[in-house]
Structure 1
């Protein structure tokens, strides 16, 4: 059972009632017999029209007698085989009764005649998602996007679902369509940048992030999100999901096996300084796998240590492509500088040693008050300066220009005594941390995450929700009339979800929803929100977004979903979006 604390008045929908009501008021979905219809309905004069059939079937359904409701519908379909509304209603009933395939057949009957029926396609998509037919659900979502191409949220949702299936190129296309329809949604553009990065379009990814940085105000949550994304792009831990650095694409299983067997031996010889023995092994490694970047770097160092500088330089990657956090980085740059001196390439050599000297000076500044762990290797600043002095006569102009730049930089920096914060300022900072947190920075990263979310298997917005009680005592909550577009006249909106695994304990969950454009500008007040407690072993539930007192206003809404007692950037585990559109005028 899920508990929605403090809000018993919200159960306006006849399909969901408070658990404290008498059991007769609960909607139990009993096992359904799909074959045979009660003969009493065959000659019932009340069932002659399609509308009367639907009305009576719904009444039986809402009373919990699903078998009776299906019997009424079967007779009505027999009498009115072209009544597509009855087929759709039958699909809805079967979808809530654990008869997945029969429900899909009913929906397909309607779609065969009306392929552009969005409400039926959303209902079919919902059944596919809940039943775990992920590929088919994505295909159905693509059909929905083709029917309603101007709805940006469909493209955004499709992009995320395709990403989960590792269909990254298709996912990027959907992100592009969403951003084109919502150019002001800068957080969507960050997700698109991540999608570009993952298919190795590094230039395009950087361009999208720089665009966002050029649009946001300094200090805004999105600015921090964009900068965080840049650290991913230019850091040392990721190269994008399509990046395969360890083996060439056409490597055979035997090559992979041979490569992995000798790699450790080569590295052990390299670490021991036995360079002549290591060289042939590293050449074999690169023959088996030309894309092994570490083997290239190590072979370059081996050749430099063997005095074969000209050959070594062709092996070493560009300094800009090396990882500064790698333990071999400084050794590589240092030896490269020495080789360039031996080859008389003075300008290049000066640049190498200058890079190391500046890095060493910066390291000393930042670790002045820090006790370094034993065994850590630190470059000798005096030795680097001797190399620079040796090279400087060969590049006087470059050295003079470099020294002038360093002098100008130093003159611009004036030591300023650190301001001691007052007691009032410290208290203000503490209070600020205790206040509501803007979770938009988390949202921007969530929208481009690599894996399925840890908590929710799916979250489906819907107009209604129904509870199905299985014979084992477990509860399953099922969305009815699923959608992501609701009219301004909509009362409550339900976010029906399924967890990846059953709840291990009484876990608090929460949903907080904002107008997305307002949230981008820093809004902290939620338009709608709900809290619930998942009981042990429950695997599905729903949030109720009650209609605001001022009514729903048109626009795009983003709901952050949270696990835990507090709602903050640290407890947000997923998100879902819907939009409010103008209600159609009565004709």
Structure 2
């Protein structure tokens, strides 16, 4: 047994010496080959030799080739960058790659290529905060690139840094003010930090510039309903109070004066009760009933401006439907008194839609006798009064695909009459939800895609466990119009549990979407069980790339629809400079 062990150790030492000798000979040979060349020529040939080995699947051999070259040319950025790239593709050597990129950035802090490469390594390694910090440096350098600002805003939202995200959304929109989808994302960002008025202004601006019946108009109307409080969504920063807040002394003080406030309010003594309500709200800011009564008090004092601001704060609370609808109506009436007819119209339209929906829901089951409900006829009358004061050219555009709201319209058909009409008429297929607008204005920052990185190339790293990982090479979001292929390398939140198709569809992104626009590229991959990374290939169109921004929608499944639309990624094409 001892003899066998000695032989085995001797064999191991012999193999080790052989490997070391090969490395020494390789270094000596490399130095001899490039000894008679200029430094630039030698650096380039060393890089080409190492890169050939690397791309042939021998990263260890490539690093051995680079060793003597970096010893001779320690400041050669070409060799330093190649070594860092090789380390980035080697299993479990992410930190070495980051350190190698940092060496280059210490000497050349404005190198965008190196910063993009470092960012992609940090992102793949799951170091989210460091990746965001690096991408912020990219954004500070590439100040005229709108999709960098937009992506940074999206990445900040993923880690709930909403206030910082809002700043970058504003920068992105300031670069392309007419990009409707981006402005709706900005409105959503403002809503999430509870800036309801700012969000409303952004959506109203969108509704003024979009075409009637366009997909963007439908997305804007949906977001407007959320902003105005037609749903239970209040924004991410909203914190519902599930138990009494404040100290015991504050709750005792609140309960001691609450009844006095109601008695004064009920008696119409508004000047006396106003300071009491303000003290109540200082003790319990989320008391929606006191907030509503303070708004009514200010109306009684003839201070419409202040009343509107008080009523609007209720969107950050959780009031009952009855109280919130009344607040909506009071705001509309205030705006009418202030002759802000267009703003008042938005409130009454939402109330009218809510009244119609309530009537439909309670058609067969009438509401309780003591429940206060929206009266469709009454709201229609107020709508008619408001519209009389709005010039035709200032009236919001009507969606031609939707029926015109007519307060004087006859009673809707009965269910039997409707069935008879459907049976006797030829019906056209309903228009599907427009795919490219399905994420506009939605809180859709979380999907099954953990990251998506555009790159020039992709490399596969086979691990000893039998799994593999795809790695982006030369990541960036800007490509010349001569680029033949763009790789969209992605990582999933969790490994695929079964065979699963994923699809991508790319369009030229313009301020106005066109439902008949032909996609520039499509691709589909099948994820096998256990796969967590993959890539799409976006091939150059036969007619060539169109310079500008390109948006790619990512879909879970082989069917491309609004229901399978999971995420999006953007890149831009620029003319190649000579």
Whether TM-score is above 0.5 comes out as: yes
Q: Alpha carbons of 1:411 and 1:67: their partners in 2 closer, same or farther (altered >3 Å)? A: closer
> Alignment partner of 2:100: what SS?
helix
User: Gapped runs of 5+ residues in structure 2?
Assistant: 1-19, 36-41, 257-276, 295-300, 302-306, 331-347, 389-404
Q: C-alpha displacement at 1:441, in angstroms?
A: 1.8
Aligned partner of 2:123 in structure 1 is 129
- Find the partner of 1:242 among 237, 244, 257: 237
Aligned partner of 2:23 in structure 1 is 38
- Find the partner of 1:174 among 168, 189, 206: 168
Q: Alpha carbons of 1:172 and 1:75: their partners in 2 closer, same or farther (altered >3 Å)? A: same
Q: C-alpha displacement at 1:164, in angstroms?
A: 1.7
What is the total number of aligned residue pairs between the two structures?
473
Distance in 2 (CA, whole Å) between partners of 1:254 and 1:416 is 47
Q: Does 1:56 align with 2:49?
A: yes
Q: C-alpha displacement at 1:197, in angstroms?
A: 1.9
Aligned partner of 1:217 in structure 2 is 211
Q: Does 1:472 align with 2:459?
A: no
> Alignment partner of 1:43: what SS?
helix
Structure 1 length-normalised TM: 0.70
Q: Alpha carbons of 1:171 and 1:327: their partners in 2 closer, same or farther (altered >3 Å)? A: closer
String of CA shifts for 1:309-329, please: whole Å, max 9, x gaps: x9xxxx9x9677668996573
Q: Does 1:560 align with 2:553?
A: yes
Q: Does 1:517 align with 2:510?
A: yes
Distance in 2 (CA, whole Å) between partners of 1:42 and 1:546 is 40
Q: C-alpha displacement at 1:443, in angstroms?
A: 3.1
Aligned partner of 1:85 in structure 2 is 78
> Alignment partner of 2:439: what SS?
helix
Q: Does 1:486 align with 2:486?
A: no
Aligned partner of 1:429 in structure 2 is 429
User: Gapped runs of 5+ residues in structure 1?
Assistant: 1-34, 248-252, 267-282, 301-309, 338-354, 383-387, 389-400
Describe how 1:103-114 pairs up with structure 2 within 5 A: 103-114=97-108
Aligned partner of 1:147 in structure 2 is 141
Q: Alpha carbons of 1:376 and 1:90: their partners in 2 closer, same or farther (altered >3 Å)? A: farther
Distance in 2 (CA, whole Å) between partners of 1:134 and 1:460 is 14
Distance in 2 (CA, whole Å) between partners of 1:553 and 1:240 is 38
Distance in 1 (CA, whole Å) between partners of 2:463 and 2:74 is 32
Aligned partner of 1:440 in structure 2 is 436
Q: C-alpha displacement at 1:539, in angstroms?
A: 0.5
Q: C-alpha displacement at 1:469, in angstroms?
A: 0.8
Q: C-alpha displacement at 1:105, in angstroms?
A: 1.3
Equivalent pair of 2:552/2:570 in contact (CA under 8 Å): yes
Distance in 1 (CA, whole Å) between partners of 2:532 and 2:449 is 9
Distance in 1 (CA, whole Å) between partners of 2:164 and 2:493 is 25
Aligned partner of 1:197 in structure 2 is 191
> Alignment partner of 1:458: what SS?
strand
Q: C-alpha displacement at 1:242, in angstroms?
A: 3.0
> Alignment partner of 2:440: what SS?
helix
Q: C-alpha displacement at 1:293, in angstroms?
A: 2.0
Aligned partner of 1:371 in structure 2 is 364
Q: Alpha carbons of 1:364 and 1:122: their partners in 2 closer, same or farther (altered >3 Å)? A: closer
Equivalent pair of 1:41/1:47 in contact (CA under 8 Å): no
Q: Does 1:574 align with 2:567?
A: yes
- Find the partner of 1:497 among 485, 490, 493: 490
Equivalent pair of 2:322/2:373 in contact (CA under 8 Å): no
Q: Which is worse superposed, 286-295 or 481-490?
A: 286-295
> Alignment partner of 2:498: what SS?
coil
Equivalent pair of 2:495/2:531 in contact (CA under 8 Å): yes
Q: Which is worse superposed, 511-520 or 223-232?
A: 511-520
String of CA shifts for 1:360-397, please: whole Å, max 9, x gaps: x9679925982217867545999xxxxx9xxxxxxxxx
Structure 2 length-normalised TM: 0.71
Equivalent pair of 2:240/2:318 in contact (CA under 8 Å): no
Distance in 2 (CA, whole Å) between partners of 1:368 and 1:175 is 39
Equivalent pair of 1:57/1:73 in contact (CA under 8 Å): yes
Aligned partner of 2:336 in structure 1 is none
Aligned partner of 1:340 in structure 2 is none
Equivalent pair of 1:259/1:289 in contact (CA under 8 Å): no
Aligned partner of 1:230 in structure 2 is 224
String of CA shifts for 1:468-519, please: whole Å, max 9, x gaps: 1111111100000000000001111000000000111111100000001186
Aligned partner of 1:415 in structure 2 is 410
- Find the partner of 2:452 among 433, 448, 459: 459
Q: C-alpha displacement at 1:537, in angstroms?
A: 1.0
> Alignment partner of 1:466: what SS?
strand
Structure of greater relative contact order (alpha carbons < 8 Å, 6+ residues apart): 1
Equivalent pair of 1:462/1:493 in contact (CA under 8 Å): yes
> Alignment partner of 1:496: what SS?
strand
> Alignment partner of 1:520: what SS?
coil
Q: Provide the alpha-carbon RMSD of the alignment.
A: 4.5
String of CA shifts for 1:276-329, please: whole Å, max 9, x gaps: xxxxxxx9x9799622325747999xxxxxxxxx9xxxx9x9677668996573
